[in-house]
Chains A and B, each alone.
Chain A
Amino acid sequence: QVQLVESGGGVVQPGGSLRLSCQASGFTFSNYGMHWVRQAPGSGLEWVGNIWDDGSTKHYGDSVRGRFTISRDNSKNTLDLQMSSLSVEDTAVYYCARKGGVGAYDNWFESWGLGTLVVVSS
């Protein structure tokens, strides 16, 4: 079965950087686009960004563009999120999620990890 396990969360000071990882298993990782979604405490869901199956294309939400970078290693079945210039508004649980299917329009979020908490605080 599909399993996604995030890691790397923790406490970081404003202006700092942090790298999150997502280990995927149970499916052919290289066939699927992947997403990062975050949820601030007590709030709703916000799409952070995505990366295509081959890593060739990446897109980001307006609130993180220019500060966050998504990458993947298909040989290791890992997805990363490099975060820099962090602010208190970036405090959230960060989830990785797998695209619904391999078709171009299968863009729902089929499977989610358990999430990793990032706290930006001085």
Chain B
Amino acid sequence: EIVMTQSPTTLSVSPGERATLSCRASQSVSNRLAWYQQKPGQAPRLVVYGASTRASGFPARFSGSGSGTEFTLIINSLQSEDFAVYYCQQYHNWYSFGQGTKLEI
């Protein structure tokens, strides 16, 4: 089983600033890494797939990078609607999620 570890657990950032979220895989997942955004009471929503391809509906200030075991989601110029929990997920060997990073003001 591939274990996904996200850091930090909670990230406090002010609107307009940059947020950097990290995700580490216990073994290489190539670029088969997705990020999801989840707001309270809502379903998760795909943000990035293939480690760096933005999903429709997300602006260019969302940027994913990485390959192998280390991945990053950067959100520039944070807007109020960006504050949520973000999960990374590998789909290289079955499917597993990180524990989430809560992005808060």
By a beta-carbon cutoff of 8 Å, the part of chain A in contact with chain B is: 35, 37, 44-47, 50, 59, 62, 95, 100, 105, 107-115
CB<8 Å pairs between A and B, sample of 28? A37-B44, A44-B87, A44-B99, A44-B100, A45-B87, A45-B89, A45-B97, A45-B100, A47-B95, A47-B97, A50-B95, A59-B94, A62-B1, A95-B43, A100-B49, A108-B34, A108-B46, A108-B50, A108-B89, A108-B91, A109-B36, A110-B46, A110-B49, A110-B55, A111-B46, A112-B43, A112-B46, A114-B42
Q: What separation, in Å, do the CA atoms of A95 and B96 have in the docked complex?
A: 15
Q: Is B61 an interface residue (CB 8 A)?
A: no
By a beta-carbon cutoff of 8 Å, the part of chain B in contact with chain A is: 1, 32, 34, 36, 42-46, 49-50, 55, 87, 89, 91, 94-100
Given contacts A47-B96, A47-B97, A105-B32, contact A112 B91 (CB under 8 A): no
Given contacts A44-B99, A47-B94, A47-B97, contact A112 B45 (CB under 8 A): yes
Q: Which residues does chain A contribute within 8 Å of B45, judged by CB atoms?
A: 112
Which 6 pairs of residues, A with B, have the shortest CB-CB distance?
A: A107-B91, A47-B95, A108-B49, A108-B34, A112-B43, A45-B97
Contact call B43/A107, Cβ cutoff below 8 A: no
Question: What's the dominant secondary structure at chain B's contact region?
Answer: loop
Q: Which residues does chain B contribute within 8 Å of A115, judged by CB atoms?
A: 43
Q: Which residues does chain A contribute within 8 Å of B97, judged by CB atoms?
A: 44-47
In the complex formed, the residue of B with least CB distance to A62 is B1
From A59, A105, A108, A113, name the one whose CB has the most chain B CB atoms within 10 angstroms: A108
Q: What separation, in Å, do the CA atoms of A67 and B96 have in the docked complex?
A: 20
Q: Which residues does chain B contribute within 8 Å of A100, judged by CB atoms?
A: 46, 49
Q: What separation, in Å, do the CA atoms of A44 and B89 have in the docked complex?
A: 11
In the complex formed, the residue of B with least CB distance to A106 is B49
In the complex formed, the residue of B with least CB distance to A4 is B43
